[in-house]
Structure 1
Amino acid sequence: MKREHRRRDIIDLLAEGGSASLDMLAHHFAVSKMTIHRDLDELEAEGLLRRTRGGATIEASTQFESDFRHRTQMAVDEKRAVARRGADFIEPGMSVMVDDGSTSQTILPFLVEKRPLTVITNNMALITELAGEAGINLIALGGTFSRKFNGFFGAVTENALASLRADISFISSSAIQGRTAFHQDQEALEVKRRMIASSARRYLLVDHGKFGRTALHLLTDLKVFDGIVTSSALSAETAASLRQDGLTLHFAEDLPA
């Protein structure tokens, strides 16, 4: 097996299982542990995994965001319910901005239900599925493609956002501590900030497991959002604290007003 193919397959294995030991990888690919060491070192340098003692993982940490394929397998039902609730704020004819997050991605079928819409996104999954969809005017944000995030980022993306204005945006975040949202990746963070600045109304879509966590970069104060959409699995104490700070919560289980 060529080195490039083996390294691609290592990421595929980690995306499915979350982590793997050095011994398991060496046995699976029938190569020496030293070869796997080199593979893991280079993949870590590319930001595609993080080394652990005796192996590697693709699971998130305060400084590392996991591969999008791994994230799409986490809290699937909750994310879909959160996205469905977020879509209640969309009206036909609106321009809607959606970021690269795995929670945001699950809003896809609910966008189709609300057409006609203009959808502005850097999310490759949404771009692929919405291309050519009747009633959807798709504005695909170009830029540098990230295999890890399955989306487009960088100066080209940010400059495009500076010239656009949306009625509503849906943003995701990998960590929330107190009344602050955080993210591990600076490029993803900058695009999210531009989307927030380029929309008239903003909603944070986030599953309850993201609360009480922190990450390397501060994204924004939660006060910039018109609403935070999560699920009733959020602890009553956390919900009460957020509401006391003047933040508006919408639970996936609530009926739209």
Structure 2
Amino acid sequence: MKIDGRRQGILDLLMEAGTATVDELSARFDVSRMTIHRDLDQLEQEGLLRKIRGGASMQASGQFESDFRYRQRLAGPEKQRIAAAAASMIGPGQTIIIDDSSTAGGVVKHLAELRPLTVITNNLAVIQELAGTAGITLITLGGQYTKKFHGFFGLLAEDTLRSLRADVALVSTSSIHGGSAFHQDQEVVQLKRLMLKAAARKMLLVDHSKFGRPALHFLTELGAFDAVLTGAEPPADAKAELEAADIDLTIVEKD
């Protein structure tokens, strides 16, 4: 197997399993452990995985956010409940911003009943689903496509956002610590901040696993949001921190 094919195979395997050892990968692709280490070093340098002791992982850490495709597989029912609840807070005729996250992107399934709408987004999955949809005015943010986040970032996207105003921004993030939101990637943080600045109302959509997790870069205080939606009770210590920060958390329960 050629190098590019093997490295894509490693990524595909990690998409399914989350983690794998060097020995497992060596046996799977019939190459030496040293070759696998070189593959993992290159893929880590590209930001596509993180090396751990004895292997590699697609799971998030304080400095590494998972690939969009991997995150789409996680907490699916909970994210769907959160998206439905967020959609119920949107009205026909409004302009909404949807960020690059799989959680906020789930709102798309509920937009047909709210038309007419204007949707501003950098999320390629949202763009692909809404392109050509009657009653939806779609404004896409230009910029450089990032495969890992399946969206567009950089100066062009930022400049476009600075020229726009919206009724509602729907954003997610990878970490809630105390009364603040964090993310691992500073370019992602910058664009999310501009989305929040461009919107009259701001909603944070996060599944409950994000509470108490670490991430490197501060995004904003939770008090900046008009609503913080999650799909289950966060851990007791995280809930206590939210109460101490006087954050009103909306828990979208199962039917």
Normalized against structure 2, the TM-score is what?
Answer: 0.94
User: How many Å apart are 1:233 and its aligned residue?
Assistant: 2.5
Q: Shift in Å at residue 241 of structure 1? A: 4.9
Is structure 2 residue 25 aligned with structure 1 residue 18? no
Calculate the aligned-residue CA RMSD, in Å: 1.7
Equivalent residues of 1:84, 1:252 under 8 A apart: no
Q: Does 1:222 align with 2:195?
A: no
Percent identity (aligned):
53
The residue that corresponds to 2:184 in the other structure is 184
Per the TM alignment, residue 21 of structure 1 is displaced from its structure 2 partner at its CA by 1.1
Q: Does 1:100 align with 2:100?
A: yes
Unaligned residue ranges in structure 2 (runs of 5+): none
> Contact 2:178 / 2:245 at 8 angstroms: preserved in 1?
no
Verify: 1:127 aligned to 2:132, yes or no: no
* SS state at 2:111 partner: helix
Structure 1 residue 237: Cα displacement: 6.5
Q: Judge conservation of contact 1:99–1:172 (CA < 8 Å) in 2.
A: yes
Partners of 2:80 and 2:184 in 1: CA distance: 23
What corresponds to 2:49 in structure 1?
A: 49
User: In the TM superposition, what whole-angstrom CA distance separates every residue of 1:110-162 from its partner, at most 9, and x where no partner exists?
Assistant: 12221111111111110111111111111111211111111111111111111
How many residues are treated as equivalent by the alignment? 255
With 21-30 and 79-88 compared, the bigger mean Cα shift is at 21-30
Aligned twin of 1:72: 72
SS in 2 for 1:250: strand
Quote the residue 1:174 is aligned against: 174
Change (3 A) 1:35 1:71: same
Aligned pair in 2 of structure 1 residues 240, 27: CA closer, same or farther (>3 Å)? closer
CA distance in structure 2 between the partners assigned to 1:168 and 1:41 by the alignment: 41
The 3 A distance-change label for structure 1 pair 24 and 238 is closer
Deviation at 1:4, TM superposition (A): 1.6
In structure 2, do the counterparts of structure 1 residues 20 and 116 end up closer, same or farther at CA, with 3 Å as the change threshold?
same
- Name 1:155's counterpart in structure 2: 155
Aligned equivalents of 1:95, 1:249: Cα separation in 2 = 24
1:244 & 1:6 partners in 2: Cα distance?
49
Write out the 4+ residue segments of structure 1 that deviate beyond 6 Å after TM superposition: none
Which amino acid letter does the alignment assign opposite residue 63 of structure 2?
Q
The answer to whether the 8 Å contact 1:124/1:150 transfers is: yes
